[in-house]
Every structure is written in structure tokens, then in C-alpha cells.
A = this chain, B = another copy of it.
Amino acid sequence: MYITVWNENVGQDCEAVRAAYPETLHGAIADAVRGKDATVTTVTLDMPEQGLTNALLEKTDVLVWWAHAAHDQVSDELVAKIRERVLRGMGVVFLHSAHLAKPFQALTGTSNTLCWREAGERERLWTIDPAHPIAKDIPSCTVIEHEEMYGEPFDIPTPDETVFIGWFQGGNVFRSGVTYKRGRGKVFYFQPGHESHPTYRQPEIKKILYNAVRWAYNPNIEQNAPSCPNIATPDEKL
């Protein structure tokens, strides 16, 4: 399995982010998803072709996407290529503020807006679907001591599956882990992971990322986009 972790890596040179993730945010995410079954690459927006050359995208089985401040800088051409590869079978995991990432909006068809508050409050992440592969070995309730609050209403399509729901100390709830199928590809959105809190170091959260990437992996990615064949001859007599 070939995993590519994409991070916009914009504005992450402030002290708070460096304190939480001295090895960079994408480094921490890569660390969480690593395994003997996987090769992991990290790329950033400032690299050639915004980090995702055609060759790398074709090689990628599961893409993990973290973004916050630079959604608008991602080219529509790249968005279209990502969506097209997901429809052929690539898995994709959108993290935290990537709810507003263009590729996620292009796959859901919705705005994916939500309510939010930066207060470093406590989140309790409840496992709603305990038999789901993404919840394997995850307890009923995972406490994250400090997180940014993301709250409902979350403007997403009815999820195929809701795996986690978050409780926030300040009084809000959120569908924190949801799945969709799009074409032959699987999509997972996961809410925790504000850049100034070390959420991606927490063992349960690392395990969820690890599980999510394995769940999203489809070994049979198609070489070509779904096409629109004209079947000239019917199978049955007309």
C-alpha cells in the first residue's frame, strides 16, 4: 500500500505548532499511519505541482489531507484529478480543518461548513459504530484534553456510516468521524487534529488514523476513469 500524506504546511511555523509538532504536522501524521504493509510519503503545497505530480497520484493508494489556511491555493485542476482518482478507487482521509478543502467539497457536493471555537476545551470522542474497522481497538470514549471545538450543524450529506460523535466541554456535539463511498473509492472525514494541540500524538487517535487508511485501501484501483459506453447491441432480442 502506498500512502501519501499531503499538508498545506502554511502558517505552521508559529511557536504553538512547533511546540506541538516539532517534526511537522505531516511528519506526525505519517508516523501514525506507518506500517509494514505501507510505504509512506509526505508532500506539501509548496512543492512542484502542489506536491501531487501525476506520477505520485497514480502511485498513491490512500491520500491523507491536512489543510487549513490555504484551501484557495489548491488548483481546480488538481482537485479534478484527485476526485477522478478517488472515483477509480483511491482512498482518501480528510483531517480536521480539511472539511473546507476543495477536494472534500468536490466529493461531497456540500459546503461542509460548521460552527467552531478555539478554546482548547476538552473533547470526548464517542465510538458509535464499535464493529467498524476504523474503530478496531478504540475504546467507547476517548478523551482529548485540548481541542478546537467543531460543532453542528455540519453541512454534509447523510453519511453512509457515522463512526464517531464528539462531545465538547463548552456544550456542542459533532459528527466527528463519517464515511462515504464515491465511485470505487472510500472517503473518511475525521475531526480531531488542531495544529496547536498534540492530538496526533495520542495513541487512540494515531490508531484511528492507522485504521482509517487500511479501511480506505482498495487494492483494485482502475486504470481508467469510469466511461460512458454506448452498448450498440442489446443482450436480449428487441
Chain A residues in contact with chain B, CB under 8 A?
83-84, 87, 89, 100, 106-111, 113-119, 121, 124, 126-131, 136, 140-141, 149, 151-155, 157-158, 160-162, 165-173, 175, 180-185, 218, 220, 225-232, 234-236, 238
Contact = CB atoms under 8 A, between A and B. Distances in A.
The oligomer's copy count stands at 4
A167 B173 contact: yes
Per DSSP, chain A at the interface is loop
A118 B124 CA distance: 20
A127 B153 contact: yes
Given A109-B182, A162-B162, 8 more contacts: A115-B229, A117-B232, A119-B234, A121-B234, A167-B173, A168-B234, A170-B236, A171-B234
A158 B161 contact: yes
B236 A181 contact: no
B170 A131 contact: no
A84 B162 CA distance: 23
24 contacts: A83-B109, A87-B111, A106-B106, A111-B183, A113-B226, A113-B227, A114-B228, A115-B231, A116-B229, A119-B234, A128-B154, A130-B153, A131-B218, A140-B152, A157-B157, A157-B182, A158-B181, A165-B175, A167-B171, A167-B172, A169-B234, A172-B231, A172-B235, A173-B173
- 8 residue pairs, one from A and one from B, having the closest CB atoms: A170-B234, A171-B235, A131-B184, A171-B236, A107-B109, A117-B231, A109-B109, A113-B226
B226 A153 contact: yes
A234 B173 contact: no
A149 B111 contact: no
A16 to B, nearest CB: 18
Contacts of A170: 231, 234-236, 238
A184 B153 CA distance: 11
Contact of A226 (B83, B155, B220, B235): B155
